[in-house]
Structure 1
Amino acid sequence: MKRFLASLLVTFSLLGSGMAAERPNIVFIFSDDHAPHAIGAYDGWLKSVDPTPNIDKLAAQGMLFQNSFCTNSICGPSRAVIMTGKHSHKNGFMNNGNSFDWNQQTFPKLLQKAGYTTALYGKSHLKGTPQGFDDWKVLPGQGLYYNPDMITPEGQMRIEGHCTDIVTDLAVKWLQEGRDAEKPFMLMVQHKAPHRNWMPAPRHLHLYDDIEIPEPNTLFDRWWDNEKPARYQELEIDRHMHLNFDLFVDLVKDFDGKSIKGRVDKSAWMNMQRMSPEQLEVWRDAYAPKDKDFHAQNLSCDDLVRWKFQRYAKNYLRCIKGVDESVGTLMDTLKDIGVDNNTIVIYSSDQGFYVGDHGWFDKRWMYEESLKMPLIVKWPGVTKAGSKSERMVQNLDYGETFLDVAGAKIPDDMQGRSLVPLLKGEQPADWRKSIYYHYYEYPSVHMVPRHYGVRTETHKLMKFYQFGEEWEFYDLENDPDELTNQYNNPAYADKIAEVRAELDRIREHYEDDSDVAEKPKAWQETMRTPAL
């Protein structure tokens, strides 16, 4: 009898502390560099090619966030912000050269303490040994698309196949066989795709062969004749996208890649060294005829840019197709094991991306295409199907949201805010009206200068501080493509003063005391020699 009463007391204690078995499971599907406008549900200019039917279905079943932003548009820092619920200057991972301190507080650790079983598969990009997970298998660094190595608790191992499929299979196996079925779970499925160098799975190599991808309106933007910091970057499709390494023209296993110098990404060519003969044959069968046709055209100037855009955009979208199929597989698996009605499914990516917008590829800037990140949440029985939110949210909010869902306490030192009220259809009167951004990785790949700024619901102010008083101000309502810097326009003086005051306030609010000093003139002159 005493044992029975003790059991009842434990049961009631667990229920009272939010440890009930019926708490929602969480599946967090996270891709790399997936621009919102490359998701059909976001109604962007790429919607016409139907790139993401499964992700679109997820949006139709849940909530799509229209104004979802990152805090620092680059891979590792975005993940560190999600893990900690803290801005980069607080969690210590400010650029991809840093190493994440896994000993610090993270939301997976807190979920474990709250009774959740947890797992992570795919791209971590935080270095070190993951903590807070009952099982994990992660890619070293950026990882490879074909036959990648995976770091596991037992050591490093090579897994044959395409990375997107491998990560999906690991997640499915854990859902079916590996998790503790007596506990709620939190599963992080983190894809490498569609990160550069955009190497699709063999089954997708001919996808979109018979169509032309729509071009962005800003494909032929030119930055060379103004004084914007954007003049000095190295992420243009025209001048910086490499025909061999990025677009695979004549790229074969024995290509003389070592003789090509400069800041080029050779990872696709290096990955070819690990391909099986069968994979290489399928690869060259797909690209060799297209390469032959390219050489026959002898393109130049705008015609060459258009060809490069088509090759790039198709490979980018082919990689996304694999991620979209993964979403479909995971949703089917949740249904098959009977947990779909009590599982929250989140789809997001670490930041946005330029798919030819402004003539660019990559991310890093605080401009809209790289600042905005997708966020779609399905919460059965709670979030209205097909709903959309216009509220300003950030990756800073994800950890707090997961903890709130689990009924766990949100630590006071986390800097974001739970999205649960929004997911329930509430409209909090005190919701944020602005978001803060700070990018640190310079000088580095693509040479995007360091900058910080604030985005309100209608305007954006940025400071590129290493080169003195370089400011940009945009009226997003009248200039959504951010083509005209209004910082020196007297007509905007009052609004600029207002937004600048908000930048000072929000920077202080998040306690960003990182170094924003101007660099010496000699350094500036050395770094600001554009390769025109």
Structure 2
Amino acid sequence: MAWLWLCVLVSLTGAAWAKPANIVFILTDDLDSAAAAKMTQVKALITKTGTAFRHHYVNVSLCCPSRVTTLRGQFAHNSTIMSNDAPDGGFEGTYAKGLEASTVATWLQDAGYRTALIGKYLNGYPDTAPSPNYIPPGWTEWYAANGGNPYAEFNYSLNENGNTVTYGNTAADYLTDVIAAKTNDFIRRSVEQHPDQPFFAYVATYAPHLPATPAPRHATALPGIMAPRPSSFNEADMSDKPGWLRNTPLLTETQIADIDAKYRKRRQSLLAVDELVKGVIDTLQATGQLANTYVFFASDNGFHQGQHRLPSGKMTAYEEDLLVPMSVRGPGVPAGATVDAFTANVDYAPTFADIAGVATPDWVDGRSLQPFLRGQTPAQWRQAVLLAHRQVAAPLKAPPGPREPPDPFDTADLVIGDYTGLRTADGRTYVEYATGEFELYNNLVDPRQLRNRYASAPTKLKTRLASWLAVLNKTSGEALRQAELHAP
């Protein structure tokens, strides 16, 4: 509450002061960078009026680990949340480990912010909580799905500040629109009823996660569009790939048609997200808060559709699954700028804390992005992003309640084994599988990752990358940030 005492002191002395900036964080679900680039409102209202981060990665390409990283600023090996299910993941694992006691929500609330989570929380919420209407620490207002089928956008329930409210299947119940309305209402009420307090809105859509149900008004939109066909689509030669993928047959015409159908639905579902973005900007403008609000737009992980012969899904160490969209507008943020430095979802929490003027715990692994938001490039910055994955058993069955439904990839006869890896600023992707296999790509000359260069790479390079990965995998906090600066 330090800033509140400062406000009182400054008020008594008659000096002018400005409240800390508001923060709106819009987090989509399974949105890849290529699809995000098609969102016209995001492009016009955030990217072109703010700064785009062109090399923004996730540590784990899976919902719950990514969202815990977002809330705490920790890589998954330090949060120990590696999957969507207990004991090493999901809401159950997060709750059991007590990780909710210290998150960006608690830090900002303690600093005087009004905080709200609106939409998707952690996979499996609220299983094992004391009640279906459990609200984690740090949230002033809470609107999270706690039943039904929120991924389908209809016939779900929300925990609305401790009361379960059930929604049906009318157009007015469409979840993305409900999230948008609640976000705008939170902003308006915060400004009208608490004018001296800044606010933090964590706005988490389920779109474009499959089944990617579009709003009824968009059900026939974008006729005829197909998934992109980069050179990695239905890749011709897979002989260099690891064993779990090497013998995957070429995609059939039926499989490709299914990919195209899902791609269209994903794009259709994003039209309502685009409208949500415009509505938030309009509300901030109408309430006089736009000039004092940072608006972030991002995704919890990427998504592949046909690359390397893979059906729709995520979790791999390939660029489509790890590179995510991220752009920011706000006070002092350069308009139309791009950042080429390597940033990651581990940086959200320390960035929000920095905006609020509060310190983060020593265990936080991420870095504040504030210098970039001021148009500055730090003299030192990370040169590698740590990657990780814990094997998910397949095939999976559709879970009950608000749990994440399986992607087509999850139900295939493909199982990605455990891996860790690095995405380096000098253009390399290096992956170590628990099977003893390796992948190494030079993304500067091979951006589609068609040629695994591990076998032919110099021993010195492989040793350097392996040593760097080993160090990062056993460190945290400041020691990890120092280790990111250069290979040992």
TM-score, length-scaled by structure 2: 0.81
Identify the match of residue 342 of structure 2 among 357, 378, 392.
Answer: 392
Paired amino acid for 1:174 = F
Q: Deviations over 1:369-389 (max 9, x none)?
A: 111111101023x11100000
Note if contact 1:352-1:369 (Cα within 8 Å) is conserved in structure 2: yes
Q: Which runs of 5+ in 1 are unaligned?
A: 1-6, 41-50, 239-300, 512-532
Identify the match of residue 66 of structure 1 among 54, 57, 73.
Answer: 54
Task: Report which of the two has the higher share of helix.
Answer: 1
Matching of residue 495 in structure 1 with residue 461 in structure 2: yes
Q: Deviations over 1:265-317 (max 9, x none)?
A: xxxxxxxxxxxxxxxxxxxxxxxxxxxxxxxxxxxx43x34422321211111
Shift of 1:186: 0.3
- In the alignment, what sits opposite 2:219? 205
Query: What is the alpha-carbon distance in structure 2 between the residues aligned to residue 441 and residue 76 of structure 1?
Result: 14
Map of 1:54-203 to 2, 5 A cutoff? 54-57=41-44, 58-97=46-85, 98=89, 99=92, 100-101=94-95, 102-126=99-123, 127-128=125-126, 129-140=135-146, 143-144=150-151, 145-160=153-168, 161-177=173-189, 180-203=194-217
Query: What is the alpha-carbon distance in structure 2 between the residues aligned to residue 369 and residue 233 of structure 1?
Result: 21
Shift of 1:11: 2.1
Shift of 1:480: 1.2
- In the alignment, what sits opposite 1:366? 317
Query: What is the alpha-carbon distance in structure 1 between the residues aligned to residue 57 and residue 308 of structure 2?
Result: 19
Query: What is the alpha-carbon distance in structure 2 between the residues aligned to residue 182 and residue 439 of structure 1?
Result: 43
- In the alignment, what sits opposite 1:402? 352
Query: What is the alpha-carbon distance in structure 2 between the residues aligned to residue 119 and residue 8 of structure 1?
Result: 23
| Residue aligned with 1:188, SS | strand
Shift of 1:13: 7.1
- In the alignment, what sits opposite 2:431? 462
Q: Aligned-residue CA RMSD in angstroms?
A: 2.6
Q: Deviations over 1:218-237 (max 9, x none)?
A: 22125765561441799x99
Question: Residues 21, 471 of structure 1: CA spacing in aligned structure 2 closer, same or farther, 3 A cutoff?
Answer: same
TM-score, length-scaled by structure 1: 0.75
Map of 1:325-474 to 2, 5 A cutoff? 325-360=275-310, 361-380=312-331, 382-444=332-394, 445=396, 446=410, 447-457=415-425, 458-465=427-434, 467=435, 469-474=436-441
Note if contact 1:139-1:151 (Cα within 8 Å) is conserved in structure 2: yes
- In the alignment, what sits opposite 2:272? 322
Note if contact 1:96-1:441 (Cα within 8 Å) is conserved in structure 2: no
Shift of 1:91: 2.1
Paired amino acid for 2:450 = L
Query: What is the alpha-carbon distance in structure 2 between the residues aligned to residue 171 and residue 223 of structure 1?
Result: 47
Question: Residues 355, 13 of structure 1: CA spacing in aligned structure 2 closer, same or farther, 3 A cutoff?
Answer: farther
Shift of 1:148: 2.1
- In the alignment, what sits opposite 1:247? none
Matching of residue 310 in structure 1 with residue 260 in structure 2: yes
Note if contact 1:216-1:356 (Cα within 8 Å) is conserved in structure 2: no
| Residue aligned with 2:260, SS | helix
Shift of 1:80: 0.3
Shift of 1:89: 2.7
Q: Deviations over 1:212-257 (max 9, x none)?
A: 55433322125765561441799x994xxxxxxxxxxxxxxxxxxx
Matching of residue 505 in structure 1 with residue 471 in structure 2: yes
Note if contact 1:125-1:140 (Cα within 8 Å) is conserved in structure 2: no
Question: Residues 472, 404 of structure 1: CA spacing in aligned structure 2 closer, same or farther, 3 A cutoff?
Answer: same
Q: How many aligned positions are there?
A: 425
Q: Which runs of 5+ in 2 are unaligned?
A: 127-134, 397-409, 478-488
Q: Deviations over 1:40-68 (max 9, x none)?
A: 2xxxxxxxxxx311110110011100100
Note if contact 1:85-1:414 (Cα within 8 Å) is conserved in structure 2: yes
Query: What is the alpha-carbon distance in structure 2 between the residues aligned to residue 237 and residue 321 of structure 1?
Result: 32
Query: What is the alpha-carbon distance in structure 2 between the residues aligned to residue 464 and residue 95 of structure 1?
Result: 17
Deviation beyond 4 Å, 4+ runs, structure 1: 7-10, 13-16, 210-214, 222-227
Query: What is the alpha-carbon distance in structure 2 between the residues aligned to residue 237 and residue 330 of structure 1?
Result: 43
Paired amino acid for 1:55 = V
Query: What is the alpha-carbon distance in structure 2 between the residues aligned to residue 8 and residue 456 of structure 1?
Result: 44
Shift of 1:485: 1.3
Q: Deviations over 1:177-227 (max 9, x none)?
A: 256332000001100000011111111111111555543332212576556
Note if contact 1:421-1:427 (Cα within 8 Å) is conserved in structure 2: yes
Note if contact 2:184-2:280 (Cα within 8 Å) is conserved in structure 1: yes
| Residue aligned with 2:438, SS | strand
Identify the match of residue 447 of structure 2 among 464, 480, 489.
Answer: 480
Note if contact 1:59-1:376 (Cα within 8 Å) is conserved in structure 2: yes
Map of 1:46-61 to 2, 5 A cutoff? 51-57=38-44, 58-61=46-49
Note if contact 2:66-2:300 (Cα within 8 Å) is conserved in structure 1: yes
Query: What is the alpha-carbon distance in structure 2 between the residues aligned to residue 132 and residue 8 of structure 1?
Result: 20
Note if contact 1:125-1:139 (Cα within 8 Å) is conserved in structure 2: no
| Residue aligned with 2:280, SS | helix
Query: What is the alpha-carbon distance in structure 1 between the residues aligned to residue 300 and residue 5 of structure 2?
Result: 44
Shift of 1:8: 9.4
- Deviating more after overlay: 434-443 vs 450-459: 434-443
Query: What is the alpha-carbon distance in structure 1 between the residues aligned to residue 267 and residue 71 of structure 2?
Result: 28
| Residue aligned with 2:372, SS | helix
Note if contact 2:51-2:337 (Cα within 8 Å) is conserved in structure 1: yes
Q: Deviations over 1:412-433 (max 9, x none)?
A: 2211110001111112121111
Matching of residue 37 in structure 1 with residue 34 in structure 2: yes
Query: What is the alpha-carbon distance in structure 1 between the residues aligned to residue 12 and residue 325 of structure 2?
Result: 34
Paired amino acid for 1:163 = L
Query: What is the alpha-carbon distance in structure 2 between the residues aligned to residue 233 and residue 436 of structure 1?
Result: 28
